[in-house]
């Protein structure tokens, strides 16, 4: 099994927290799509895995017209082996979702939609630079359900410096009332190079306290349990049977091929990425656009460790013994203190986080990393 990822780098406006590659130069959309078709064709000989998922991320994929998606799907189907039951996801902004557009998406073959809500509070949306309002956020989810989507995801952000735990609780209360099957909830991080990071450095924003962060995380877990969701990855929750197949492929080391500026690919021990430069991308010289590296044994170990401990299943220790005999003893020795401190559990030949320790899993992972 494998997946395709399409990075659509266009946005009407820039959100202050986002560090994904994007541009507001929508006049380049047609040229971008033409180059995207060329890239899809260029790599067809390199990637012959059966495709179980396609994911359109961004940026704002919902800025792409239905007719352009139709042509792109035709190109994909002629160049790659797309399984009949493949999960096909589009990320969408609430204010892009009309009944007509949702009908078009369903007819094209999209069977999963991820709606960038972020918050149901107007001030939050304004501070973040979102272009939809609080009512549009709620209406978009309900409209997607009414038009026939039965696999709907939404995003929320918590840990907002101007907001409060009470407001985040209200967001969660609204979430439990909506017909969604998947929730991605991220604690705000001040990524270097973003407007929010600059505001943090100026002292205009301050990071929320660790106590507030932890309280909001526990609220998140409580409300998702109330809705019957499973917490299957650090930031992801879903109804049983509705895990994101595409994102799960990342965490499980399944090959994927990425298209568009800033997109990444992974197969075998090869990691490939396109430079985050639309002007360069539009030239279509893939020897200049694309860079790649071969993962060392330590790199592959660290990546497997990081991805595994972020999931509810954790690390398969049998696999770690087989793939990384050089580092296995070190892993078990280093993890022993986390096990004795009840942050990790070693059970049935698996190593995984306890629910409480997931909030600090990045520190655990960093402690377990190895070097050559």
Q: What is the pLDDT of residue 329?
A: 95
Q: Which of 235, 250, 265 lies at the terminal end of a domain, its last residue?
A: 250
The C-alpha torsion from 283 through 31 and 257 to 190, rounded to 10°, is 90
Q: For residue 259, is it within any domain?
A: no
Cα separation, 135 vs 27, whole angstroms = 29
Residues 50 and 179 in one domain: yes
Which tens digit of pLDDT belongs to each residue from 227-277? 999 999 999 999 999 999 999 988 888 999 999 999 999 987 899 999 999
Across the range 162-171, mean pLDDT stands at 97
- CA–CA–CA angle 291, 307, 196 (5° rounding): 70
Question: Taking the model in full, what pTM does it have?
Answer: 0.96
Same domain, 242 and 317: no
Q: What pLDDT score does 358 carry?
A: 86
Whether the CB-CB separation of 256 and 5 falls below 8 Å is answered with yes
How far apart CA 354 and CA 167 sit, in angstroms, is: 27
- How many domains does the chain contain in total? 2
- 189 and 318 together in one domain: no
Indicate if 346 and 211 belong to the same structural domain. Answer: no
Distances 169 to 125, 132, 288 between C-alpha atoms, Å: 16, 21, 48
Residue 211 located in a structural domain: yes
Residue at 260 is within a domain: no
Answer positive or negative: Cα dihedral of 30, 32, 35, 37.
negative
Q: What is the pLDDT of residue 253?
A: 86
Q: Residue 359 pLDDT > 90, yes or no?
A: no
Edge-to-edge strand ranges of the sheet holding 182-187? 230-233, 236-238, 182-187, 152-158, 112-118, 82-92, 51-58, 2-8, 256-259, 264-267, 270-274, 290-294
The reported pLDDT for the residue numbered 303 is 93
Q: Which segment of 71-80, 127-136, 354-363 scores lowest on mean pLDDT?
A: 354-363
Judge if 218 and 150 occupy the same domain.
yes
303 and 193 share one domain: no
| 365 in a structural domain | yes
What confidence tier does 285 reach under pLDDT thresholds 50, 70, 90?
very high
* Domain around 161: 2-250
Q: Are residues 155 and 33 in the same domain?
A: yes
Which helix (H) or strand (E) covers residue 363, if one does?
helix 361-368
Question: Whole-angstrom Cα distance, residue 334 to residue 1?
Answer: 33
**Nearest of 294, 293, 314, 296 to residue 305 by alpha carbon:** 314
Question: In sequence order, what are the residues at sequence separation of 6 or more whose Cβ sits closer than 8 angstroms to the Cβ of residue 25?
Answer: 10, 278
Whether 48 has a pLDDT exceeding 90, the answer reads no
For position 50, which CATH number holds? Answer: 3.20.20.70
Containing H/E element for 309? helix 297-309
Instruction: Give me the pLDDT at residue 14, please.
Output: 87
Mean pLDDT of the chain: 95
In this structure, the chain runs to a length of: 372
Does 216 lie in the same domain as 348? Answer: no
Instruction: Report the CATH number that the domain containing residue 353 is assigned in CATH.
Output: 1.10.10
Q: Does residue 245 sit in the same domain as residue 302?
A: no
pLDDT at 69 over 90: yes
Specify the pLDDT at position 237.
Answer: 98
User: Do 203 and 336 fall into the same domain?
Assistant: no
pLDDT at 347 over 90: yes
**276 is a domain residue:** no
**pLDDT score of 71 more than 80:** yes
What percentage of the chain reaches a pLDDT higher than 90? Answer: 92
**Do 102 and 199 share a structural domain?**
yes
Band of residue 92 on the pLDDT scale cut at 50, 70, 90: very high
Count CB-CB contacts under 10 A for residue 275.
14
Indicate the SS3 state at residue 347: strand
- Per DSSP, the three-state class of 92 is strand
Say if CB 314 and CB 364 are below 8 A apart. Answer: no
Q: Give the per-residue pLDDT at 108.
A: 96
Q: Cα–Cα distances in Å, from 92 out to 63, 151, 227, 256?
A: 8, 13, 23, 21
The pLDDT value given to residue 279: 97
| Range with lowest mean pLDDT among 188-202, 217-231, 304-318, 352-366 | 352-366
Q: Is residue 159 part of a domain?
A: yes
Q: Establish if 359 belongs to a structural domain.
A: yes
* Residue 2: per-residue pLDDT: 93
pLDDT value at residue 281 = 98
Q: Is residue 349 part of a domain?
A: yes
Helix-helix angle 361-368:297-309, to 10 degrees: 160
Residues 8 and 131 in one domain: yes
Euclidean distance between CA atoms 131 and 235, whole angstroms = 24
């Amino acid at each position: 099994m494998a997946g395709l990822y399409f990075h659509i780098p266009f946005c009407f406006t820039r959100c202050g927290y986002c560090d994904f590659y994007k541009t507001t130069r929508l006049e380049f959309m047609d040229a971008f799509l033409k180059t995207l078709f060329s890239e899809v064709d260029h790599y067809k000989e390199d990637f012959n895995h059966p495709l179980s998922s396609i994911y359109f991320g961004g940026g704002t994929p919902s800025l792409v017209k239905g007719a352009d998606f139709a042509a792109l799907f035709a190109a994909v189907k002629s160049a790659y082996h797309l399984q009949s039951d493949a999960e096909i996801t589009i990320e969408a902004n609430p204010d892009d979702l009309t009944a007509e557009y949702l009908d078009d998406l369903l007819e094209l073959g999209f069977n999963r939609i991820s709606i960038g809500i972020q918050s149901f509070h107007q001030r939050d949306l304004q501070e973040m630079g979102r272009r939809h309002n609080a009512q549009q956020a709620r209406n978009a989810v309900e409209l997607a359900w009414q038009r026939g989507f039965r696999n709907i995801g939404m995003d929320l952000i918590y840990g907002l410096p101007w907001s409060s735990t009470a407001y985040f609780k209200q967001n969660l209360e609204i979430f439990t009332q909506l017909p969604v099957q998947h929730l991605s909830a991220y604690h705000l991080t001040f990524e270097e190079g973003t407007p929010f990071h600059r505001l943090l450095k100026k002292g205009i924003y301050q990071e929320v306290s660790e106590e507030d962060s932890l309280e909001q995380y526990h609220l998140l877990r409580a409300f998702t349990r109330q809705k019957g969701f499973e917490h299957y990855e650090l930031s992801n929750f879903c109804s049983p049977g509705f895990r994101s197949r595409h994102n799960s492929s990342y965490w499980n080391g399944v090959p994927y091929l990425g298209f568009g500026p800033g997109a990444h690919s992974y197969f075998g021990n090869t990691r490939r990425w396109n430079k985050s430069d639309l002007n360069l991308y539009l030239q279509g010289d893939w020897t200049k656009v694309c860079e790649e590296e071969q993962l060392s044994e330590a790199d592959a170990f660290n990546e497997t460790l990081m991805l595994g401990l972020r999931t509810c299943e954790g690390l398969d220790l049998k696999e770690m013994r087989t793939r990384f005999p050089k580092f296995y003893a070190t892993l078990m020795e280093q993890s022993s203190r986390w096990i004795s401190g009840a942050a990790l559990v070693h059970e049935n030949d698996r190593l995984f986080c306890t629910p409480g320790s997931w909030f600090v899993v990045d520190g655990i992972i960093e402690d377990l990393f190895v070097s050559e």
